[in-house]
Amino acid sequence: MNALFASAALGLAAAWPASGLGWVLGKAADRLTGDPLTRVKAWNRAVALPPTVLALMVGVSALPRETTDPVYQVAMTTRAAATAGAVVHDLSTRALPAVNTGEMLGTVLILGALGGLAVAGARQIAGRAKLERIVRDARPVSQELALAVRAAARRLDTGRPEVKVSDVIDQPLLAGLTTPVILLPAELVERLDVHRLVPICAHELAHLKRGDNWRLLAEHLLGGLFWMVPPFAAIRARAAATREELSDALALDGASPADRHGYAEALIAVLRGRAAPALHPAFTGKGRKPTAMRLRAITHPQDPASFTRRALLGLASLLALALIAGGSIALAQQGENQRGSRTVISDNGSGQYVEIRSDMVRVSNAEIVKGRLKVPDGQVSTYHGHVQVRGRLKAPETTVLLNGDTPPAGFDPTTLPDGAIERLDVVNHAAEGKPRVTLNVFLKPGL
């Protein structure tokens, strides 16, 4: 399989452990604080982890080798990054151990993800077309309510969308992307006075201020891409529920206890209707536990998180990102390795780092390399095919020969263009009790 597609398949498999890591991050935020703003940030980062893994892996594979090799060398010679890569690699292979068994499963993963993305895109197009028709058929609200909503928009320092009443929806929602409109159910407008409706509209204004209508679109498309990763759907649901709490907090900022209880009663009344469509930020969400948490937050608002707790969550986010980055680099290199053999010879003490890739490798015991180096107890690995040498070749740990002879001054096999090496003999031996490596490079005729 092409290295780019192999890395994409591995990235889809790695979305499982990345989602697990994101879930731990979000739950840690829930336990550390009741502040909705801090928790929203943590859950949004959790949602971003799986697509970050996929983007990093595909990006590393798509970039030229000359660009990615130095990054990979630094990562693999740094103990923390190498450990992170090993952990993510182990978790990803446990989550989907067959991803490395052949091209067929990798192809199924990629086609399945693209198919899910296409279905999610089609649903968005159809759903938003239906929503546009609902907006066109809706009627304006009273002048009193419209003016009150404008005042709330000024308080929240956000746009001033039109407010309309619809007979075909059962809950308030923010409809549209470029020209958003607040839609209110006709039954709710008839039952509640303006004073009770304004906080509900302010909730939708809070979604508008934070760009949740655009965020929800992106998350639905990502949900289609990662439909084979159920933990990602769980993270999205928790992130959406936490955003509802934050919108409540912004809408009710400075509200009296009586207003808060009235708002909670309106929420309970709306919850008695059917479940909300999932194409827009709406006044209600799904799930009994998130709803209970939301009602508690409405009636008993939480103080902002302390600096210490915010710092702890920030540090946890950075650690999660470092783990994901290190693992992505390692897995991306593994995707490239499926094309052929790879050998790494490193010595952190001297700074030597040699990476050799080829389509084929043969190992044999040999006594001589073109009459120059006798290796009675050594081992020769002969590389053929698409041979590449990368790394830092430090003398005397590494000796370089060209066609069995001393090369001209300045010869460096790591700078040769792709396809220049016809064959490479790698001789591992010892000198004065220390391990040594000899690279015998055979160039293609005419080079």
Closest C-alpha among 69, 27, 90 to residue 327: 90
Helix (H, G, I), strand (E, B) or coil at 398: strand
pLDDT tens by residue, 120-164: 999 999 999 999 999 999 999 999 999 999 999 999 999 999 999
Instruction: Quote the pLDDT of residue 150.
Output: 96
Verdict on whether the full-model pTM lies above 0.75? no
- Triad 277, 279, 285: Cα angle to 5°: 50
- Please state, for a pLDDT cut of 90, what percent of the chain lies above it: 43
CA 425 – CA 363 distance, rounded (Å)? 9
For residue 56, name the pLDDT band (cuts at 50, 70, 90): confident
CA 443 – CA 435 distance, rounded (Å)? 26
User: Which DSSP string do the residues of 18-33 spell out, in sequence order?
Assistant: HHHHHHHHHHHHHHH-
Name the amino acid, one letter, at 117: L
The pLDDT mean for the chain works out to 81
β-partners of residue 358 are 341
190-212 burial, b at 16+ Cβ within 10 Å, e below that, comes to: eebebeebbbbbbbbbbbbbbeb
Instruction: Quote the pLDDT of residue 429.
Output: 74
For residue 107, name the pLDDT band (cuts at 50, 70, 90): confident
CA 76 – CA 155 distance, rounded (Å)? 52
Residues 65-71, mean pLDDT to the nearest whole number: 53
- Chain-centre distance of CA 185, in angstroms? 37
Instruction: Quote the pLDDT of residue 329.
Output: 64
- Please state, for a pLDDT cut of 70, what percent of the chain lies above it: 76
Is the confidence at residue 98, as pLDDT, over 50? Answer: no
For residue 47, name the pLDDT band (cuts at 50, 70, 90): very high
pLDDT tens by residue, 215-226: 999 999 999 999
Domain ranges of the chain: 3-127+213-335, 340-443
Instruction: Quote the pLDDT of residue 380.
Output: 80
Residue 425 to residues 270, 382, 387, 415: CA-CA distances in angstroms?
Answer: 74, 5, 11, 17
Instruction: Quote the pLDDT of residue 434.
Output: 76
If one compares 177 and 284, the residue with the highest pLDDT of the two is 177
CB of 366 closer than 8 Å to CB of 380: yes
CA 29 – CA 316 distance, rounded (Å)? 10
For residue 388, name the pLDDT band (cuts at 50, 70, 90): confident
Is the confidence at residue 267, as pLDDT, over 90? Answer: no
Q: Give the torsion sign (CA, 65, 71, 74, 80).
A: negative
CB of 106 closer than 8 Å to CB of 98: no
284 CB contacts (<8 Å, ≥6 apart)? 171, 244, 267, 270, 271, 276, 291
